[in-house]
């Protein structure tokens, strides 16, 4: 049997290498542990979570708590605790008159005004709480300033009760919304009569967001908006004759919502459409014989109203009209024709429509006799009527015809 001698140098080298491996593993674990501790500390400082969320509310802190102030036998079973955004309290309220009160000072260390968006309570036991010296309408904390609110915890039952409560203060990194929504009409009403269908786009904007946007279209002075619309832009079509107003309501999602209500005719301006020309209901000539003939026109325009009229003896549209104040009631216009022939009547409305109609004139009489006296004592007379001629014959010849 061979007798192997130990190689001390080799053994020494073997154990030394193994020891170094152990040391290296230990150092590696220590390094990883130090990284974990370092990241944890860094996470606390920067508020970094697994979703790498940066919390803006670190600028807001509960900087002071006065209390508890006990009344009517109430007492705490434990010291109250609070952090920058949390107050924990426990106590006993032996009767309905017992209260525990805290005064909490909240400081805004940021450069922006911020909101207290919510105060949420989690309560165990038959209790309720009141918040005094705090109103929704003044829940903004100006930059660099502090706000103090008072929490009063009261027994809501008829017997003694023990409670525990956590009050969480959730802060928003936003400006307080004191501005109601802004409503836009495009185009704005101008009270100019259009002759073709057109569209109006309505929209609304707000510092926060629009939660409700409704409208209605009316030919009256106002209406109640009931049709849902998209605040980013909704088309309202004007397609029928009339004078229109669009009424809108827009509500935002502020903590105390603001609502803007407006009609497009707020400045006495309307959206106006007149696709119908004036209607000439009648055009008639006198039916009795005479040296002249009266022609009568009746006309109405129920939308934009009559603004002018003209008479011609040709069918060419005139360049000028006799102006009249715009009217939607039926109007009567007359013309004196001195000759037989065709007479044309023209009428225009405020929208620019022109209507025309013609009538034949046939009852203008021509002279039946022309007798000229030749007796110097009687003078000279030219007659254009039968009666005139008969009178002259009587004067000339001395007898009555």
pLDDT on residue 257? 87
Which residues, in sequence order, are CB contacts of 182 under 8 Å at separation 6+?
204, 205, 206, 260
Closest to 296 in 3D by CA, of 308, 311, 314, 316: 311
- CATH no. of 56-172: 2.60.40
Q: Report yes or no: 71 and 96 within 8 Å, Cβ to Cβ.
A: no
**How far apart, in whole angstroms, are the C-alpha atoms of residue 222 and residue 204?**
19
Q: How far is CA 342 from CA 36, 361, 363, in A?
A: 107, 6, 12
**How far apart, in whole angstroms, are the C-alpha atoms of residue 35 and residue 212?**
51
Q: Report yes or no: 303 and 311 within 8 Å, Cβ to Cβ.
A: no
- Straight-line distance from the first to the last Cα atom of the chain, in angstroms, rounded to the nearest whole number: 191
Torsions phi, psi of 141, nearest 5? -105, 110
- CATH no. of 279-361: 2.60.40.10
**How far apart, in whole angstroms, are the C-alpha atoms of residue 326 and residue 349?**
7
pLDDT on residue 284? 98
Q: Report yes or no: 389 and 383 within 8 Å, Cβ to Cβ.
A: yes
Side-chain half-sphere exposure of 213, counting CA atoms within 13 A: 20
Closest to 173 in 3D by CA, of 148, 141, 145: 141
Does this model's pTM top 0.75?
A: no
Residue whose token pair is 């000759």: 339
What tokens does 51 get?
């979703």
Q: Are strands 293-300 and 279-285 parallel, antiparallel or unpaired?
A: antiparallel
Which of the following CATH numbers is that of domain 182-273: 2.60.40, 2.60.120, 1.20.272, 3.40.50? Answer: 2.60.40
Q: What is the DSSP string of 215-247?
A: EEEESSS-----EE--TT-EEEEE-SSEEEEEE
**How far apart, in whole angstroms, are the C-alpha atoms of residue 337 and residue 295?**
7
User: Any bridge partners for residue 153, and if so which?
Assistant: 100, 129
**How far apart, in whole angstroms, are the C-alpha atoms of residue 386 and residue 384?**
7
**How far apart, in whole angstroms, are the C-alpha atoms of residue 91 and residue 99?**
10
Closest to 174 in 3D by CA, of 56, 61, 257: 56
pLDDT tens per residue, the chain (401 residues)?
444 444 444 454 455 566 666 667 666 666 655 544 443 433 333 332 332 233 334 466 777 888 788 999 998 887 777 776 677 888 888 988 888 888 888 777 777 677 665 555 556 666 776 766 544 334 567 777 887 877 888 888 888 888 877 776 666 555 556 789 999 999 999 999 999 999 999 999 997 789 999 999 999 999 999 999 999 999 999 999 999 999 999 999 876 789 999 999 999 999 999 999 999 999 999 999 888 999 999 999 999 999 999 999 999 999 999 999 999 999 999 999 999 999 999 999 999 999 999 999 999 986 554 555 544 455 556 666 667 767 766 666 655 54
Cis peptide before 121 (omega within 30 of 0): no
């Amino acid at each position: 049997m061979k007798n192997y001698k130990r190689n001390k140098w080799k053994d020494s080298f073997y154990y030394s290498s193994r020891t170094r491996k152990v040391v290296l593993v230990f150092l590696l674990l220590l390094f990883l542990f130090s990284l974990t501790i370092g990241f944890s500390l860094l996470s606390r400082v920067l508020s970094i979570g697994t979703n790498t969320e940066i919390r803006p509310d670190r600028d807001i802190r509960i900087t002071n708590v006065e209390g508890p102030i006990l009344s009517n036998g109430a007492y705490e079973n434990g010291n109250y605790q609070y952090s920058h955004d949390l107050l924990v309290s426990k106590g006993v309220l032996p009767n309905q008159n017992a209260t525990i009160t805290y005064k909490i000072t909240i400081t805004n260390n940021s450069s922006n005004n911020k909101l207290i968006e919510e105060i949420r309570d989690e309560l165990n036991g038959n209790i309720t709480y009141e918040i005094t010296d705090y109103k929704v309408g003044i829940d903004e904390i100006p930059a660099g300033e502090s706000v103090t609110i008072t929490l009063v915890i009261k027994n809501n039952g008829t017997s003694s009760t023990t409670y525990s409560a956590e009050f969480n203060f959730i802060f928003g990194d936003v400006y307080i919304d004191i501005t109601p929504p802004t409503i836009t009409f495009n185009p704005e009403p101008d009270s100019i009569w259009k002759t073709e269908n057109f569209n109006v786009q309505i929209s609304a904007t707000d510092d926060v967001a629009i939660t409700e946007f409704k409208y209605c279209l009316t030919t009256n002075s106002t209406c109640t908006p009931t049709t849902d619309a998209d605040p980013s832009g909704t088309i309202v079509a004007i397609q029928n004759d009339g004078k229109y107003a669009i009424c809108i309501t827009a509500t935002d999602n502020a903590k105390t919502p603001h609502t803007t209500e407006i009609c497009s005719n707020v400045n006495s301006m309307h959206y106006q459409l007149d696709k119908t020309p004036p209607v000439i209901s009648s055009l008639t000539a006198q039916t009795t014989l005479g040296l002249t003939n009266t022609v009568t026109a009746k006309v109405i325009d129920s939308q934009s109203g009559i603004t002018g009229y003209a008479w011609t003896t040709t069918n060419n549209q005139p360049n000028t009209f006799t102006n009249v104040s715009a009217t939607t009631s039926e109007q009567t216009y007359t013309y004196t024709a001195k000759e037989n022939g065709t007479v044309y009547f023209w009428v225009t409305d405020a929208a620019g429509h022109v209507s025309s109609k013609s009538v034949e004139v046939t009852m203008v009489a021509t002279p039946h006799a022309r007798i000229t006296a030749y007796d110097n004592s009687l003078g000279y007379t030219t007659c254009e009527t039968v009666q005139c001629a008969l009178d002259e014959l009587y004067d000339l010849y001395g007898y009555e015809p």
